[in-house]
């Protein structure tokens, strides 16, 4: 199978990820448009230190899946973004990220930057 076996990992690889300014703005816009109850439910979850601020612990999935950063979309399929559970899927060359990253989610940007 050519898919990553993410189910059951419980966000194992969802640590601080780098984002571009465009991604920061998109995440901000989409979170603002999210129903308040959903957004606040996600914001106030208890996570292990180091886990991405957008990892949805309650549902075991990315809480911003449809607007997650490119690095998360490309993860597992490129030689510089290898999933250790299925390294054979990293058959593509370097991840095609052209824009400069402006910081890391969880470190440089936390929930207070997206309120
Ligand atoms: S990319 Fe790999 S480590 Fe990350 S959740 Fe999926 S299977 Fe697990
Ligand atoms: S944005 Fe989503 S996929 Fe990316 S690290 Fe955070 S929880 Fe994981």
**For the segment 13-58, what is each residue's pLDDT rounded down to a tens digit?**
999 999 999 999 999 999 999 999 999 999 999 999 899 999 999 9
Residue 9 pairs in a beta bridge with none
- Cα(75)–Cα(81) distance, integer angstroms: 5
Q: Is residue 3 part of a domain?
A: no
Does the residue 114 lie in any domain?
Answer: no
Task: Determine if ligand 1 sits within 6 Å of the CB of residue 76.
Answer: yes
Number of domains observed in the structure of the chain:
1
Identify which of 95, 114, 98, 94 has the alpha carbon closest to the alpha carbon of residue 106.
114
Q: Which of 52, 85, 89, 95 best tests ligand 1's pocket when mutated (most atoms within 8 Å of CB)?
A: 85
Q: Token pair 């950063």 is at which residue? A: 69
pTM for the model? 0.92
Q: Does any domain span residue 11?
A: no
- Asked if the structure places residue 6 within a domain, the reply is no
Q: Is the pLDDT of residue 1 over 80?
A: no
- Beta carbons of 81 and 74 less than 8 angstroms apart: yes
Q: By residue range, what is the domain housing residue 60?
A: 18-109
Q: 69-108: per-residue pLDDT in tens? A: 999 999 999 999 999 999 999 999 999 998 999 999 999 9
């Amino acid at each position: 199978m050519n898919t990553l076996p993410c189910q059951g990992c419980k966000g194992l690889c969802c640590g601080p990820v780098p984002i571009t300014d465009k991604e920061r703005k998109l995440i901000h816009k989409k979170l603002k448009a999210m129903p308040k109850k959903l957004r606040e439910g996600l914001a106030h979850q208890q996570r292990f230190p180091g886990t991405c601020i957008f990892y949805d612990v309650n549902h075991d999935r990315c809480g911003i899946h449809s607007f997650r950063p490119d690095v998360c979309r490309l993860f597992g399929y490129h030689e510089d973004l290898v999933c250790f559970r299925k390294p054979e899927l990293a058959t593509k060359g370097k991840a095609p990220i052209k824009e400069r990253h402006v910081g890391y989610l969880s470190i440089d940007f936390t929930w207070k930057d997206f309120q």
